[in-house]
Amino acid sequence: MLEIKYIADLVIAADNAGKKISEIVWQWECEQSGVLAESIWEKMQARLETIKISAYTGKQQQGKTFNGLVGGDAYRMAQTDQLLGGTVTRAVTYALSVSEVNADMGKIVACPTAGSCGIVPGALLATAELLKSDNDVIIKGLFTAAGIGTVIAKNASVAGAIGGCQAECGSAAAMAAGAVVEMMGGTPRQVSQAVALTLKNLLGLVCDPVAGLVEVPCVKRNGFAAAHALVGAQMALAEIESVIPADEVIEAMNQIGLALPSSLKETSEAGLAKTSTALSITARILK
Which residue ranges make up the site for another protein (CB under 8 A)?
Answer: 25, 29, 32-33, 40, 43-44, 47, 50, 66-67, 101-115, 117, 120, 142-143, 145-147, 149-150, 153-154, 158-159, 161, 175, 211-215, 285-287
Residues 6+ apart with CB under 8 A from 261: 270
User: Choosing among ligand SF4, another protein, none, which partner's interface includes residue 284 (Cβ < 5 to 8 Å by kind)?
Assistant: none
Query: Restricting to residues 137-166, which ones interact with ligand SF4 according to CB under 6 A?
Result: 160, 165
Nearer of residues 117 and 206 to another protein, judged by Cβ: 117
DSSP 215-278: STTHHHHHHHHHHHHHHHHHHHHTT---SS-HHHHHHHHHHHHHHS-GGGBTS-SSGGGGSHHH
User: Which does residue 21 bind out of another protein, ligand SF4, none, counting CB within 5 to 8 angstroms by kind?
Assistant: none
> Minimum Å distance from CB 198 to ligand SF4?
16
Nearer to ligand SF4, 51 or 207 (CB): 207
Say if residue 204 is exposed, middle or buried (CB neighbours under 10 Å; 0-12, 13-18, 19+): middle
Quick one: 145 or 205, whose CB is closer to another protein?
Answer: 145
Q: Which is nearer to another protein, 69 or 230 (CB)?
A: 69
Q: Which of 71, 112, 115, 149 binds ligand SF4 (CB under 6 A)?
A: 115
Q: Which does 169 bind (CB under 5 to 8 A by kind): another protein, ligand SF4, none?
A: ligand SF4
SS3 207: strand
Contact by Cβ (8 Å): 98, 54: yes
Position 187: which residue type? T
Closer to another protein at the Cβ: 50 or 241?
Answer: 50
**E strand or H helix at 137:** helix 135-155
User: Quick one: residue 212, left, alpha or beta (phi over 0 = left, psi -120 to 50 = alpha)?
Assistant: left
Does 169 sit near ligand SF4 (CB under 6 A)? yes
